[in-house]
Amino acid sequence: MMKKIAILTSGGDAPGMNAALRACIRAGLFHNIDMYVVYDGFRGLVEGNIHQVNKDFTQDIINRGGTIIRSARMDEFTKLEVYKKAANNLKDFEIDGLIGIGGDGTMRGLESLSQLGIITIGIPATIDNDVGATDQTIGFSTALNTICDCVDKLKDTSGSHQRCSLIEVMGRYCGDLAMFAALAEGAEGVICVEHPLNEKVLFRKLRKMKAQNKSHAIIIISENLLDINDLAKKIEQDTGFDTKTEVLGRLQRGGSPVALDRILAARFGARAIDLLLEEEPTSRVVGIKNNHIIDYPIEEAIKMEHVLESGLRDLIDMLQ
Ligand code: F6P
């Protein structure tokens, strides 16, 4: 039976990471486990920045954005000599199980550690919603709401000037933020990996809108796909729409988590502790599928691809 469990947060921070941390710590303490946190993600693990915590540590963090134990990106964690050091630190602290809260990079880091005999549990938390083992990651709902707040505000000014607004959102290479934001905002267009740019169709539509004297047009675009300033120039030349670009950037990652993310965090955290308390625990990734909390062996989970909800593309096209 496990006696000591440590938790870290890694990769880009996501709203709800603190709620997940709280759930893990409280569930662990409930089962009389000694709970530890690792500051600064995998880097902190390599440096031995590991500290025991009590229930007070989790006071008033459920509603806080970011992560109070900080996060980091550590590309070198793919090297055996680096993650061996991390595994040895855990062994020195006599820590039996490690929970990692983060995105797909975090899951891969945990899998490396599990190859060295550390029992690891992954809790998917990233605004990108790009973890294959789950329908939804912690942080996605909050980021989507933040995007909608921003687009609502942009609509006011866009409509006042009869402009076309190109709004770039995050997601790395996953179109979920763009697609769901487009659906929630009734955007005139969306461009992402799963719904690539079709200049002919988009420009024709914008020309028609301009001819009908429509007040404005909103196009949501995923990051890492194209230069939105180049596209804005082309739209202006081709359609006559005064076109402005907005990159929402990291403000999409901030803010207090919405209730859905806090609840997901509670459910994932409790399952993570349950898995570690099994008689013969193994390394796993938790997730939610069809509203059921599930888990997969970590080596399977890291190979799973996140797929766009079926029918979403058609729904967006139909309602545009
Ligand atoms: O993975 C979350 C995310 O916000 C992505 O959407 C984005 O591409 C990336 O992190 C940016 O990371 P950083 O803040 O380290 O530049």
**Rounded distance between C-alpha atoms, residue 252 and residue 53, angstroms:** 30
Q: Which of 55-59, 171-175, 210-214, 307-311 has the least mean pLDDT?
A: 307-311
Question: If you ran DSSP here, which 8-state letter would residue 257 be given?
Answer: P
Nearest CA among 134, 165, 151 for reference residue 261: 134
**Rounded distance between C-alpha atoms, residue 296 and residue 300, angstroms:** 7
Q: Which long-range contacts (CB under 8 A, 24 or more apart) does 234-241 make?
A: 234/199, 234/203, 235/164, 235/166, 235/202, 235/203, 235/206, 238/203, 238/206, 238/207, 239/164, 239/203, 239/206, 239/207, 239/210, 240/207, 240/210, 241/162, 241/163, 241/164, 241/206, 241/209, 241/210, 241/217
**167-182 mean pLDDT:** 97
pTM, 2 dp: 0.98
Question: If you ran DSSP here, which 8-state letter would residue 56 be given?
Answer: G
Nearest CA among 144, 118, 115, 140 for reference residue 129: 140
Q: Are 118 and 99 in contact (CB under 8 A)?
A: no
72 lines ligand 1 (CB under 6 A): no
State residue 261's pLDDT score: 98
Considering only CA atoms, which residue is closest to atom 4 of ligand 1? Answer: 12
State residue 230's pLDDT score: 98
C-alpha dist (Å) from residue 13 to 16, 51, 67, 159, 312: 9, 20, 6, 33, 27
**274-296 mean pLDDT:** 98
The question of whether 152 is a catalytic residue gets the answer no
122 lines ligand 1 (CB under 6 A): no
State residue 205's pLDDT score: 96
Q: 320 falls in which pLDDT band (50, 70, 90)?
A: confident
Reported as a single tens digit per residue, the pLDDT across 89-135 is 999 999 999 999 999 999 999 999 999 999 999 999 999 999 999 99
> Given this chain, do its domains 4-139+257-301 and 142-254 carry the same CATH topology?
yes
| Active-site position among 128, 130, 261, 295 | 128
**Rounded distance between C-alpha atoms, residue 51 and residue 127, angstroms:** 27
Atom of ligand 1 nearest to the CA of 73: 15
**Rounded distance between C-alpha atoms, residue 292 and residue 44, angstroms:** 33
Answer yes or no: CATH 3.40.50.720 is held by domain 4-139+257-301: no
Mean pLDDT estimate for the chain: 97
Residue spans of the domains in the chain: they are 4-139+257-301, 142-254
41 lines ligand 1 (CB under 6 A): no
Residue that the structure tokens 């070198």 belong to = 76
State residue 309's pLDDT score: 86
State residue 172's pLDDT score: 97
**Rounded distance between C-alpha atoms, residue 268 and residue 128, angstroms:** 17
* Helix H or strand E encompassing 51: strand 50-53
Q: 310 falls in which pLDDT band (50, 70, 90)?
A: confident
Q: What is the CATH number of domain 142-254?
A: 3.40.50.460
128 lines ligand 1 (CB under 6 A): yes
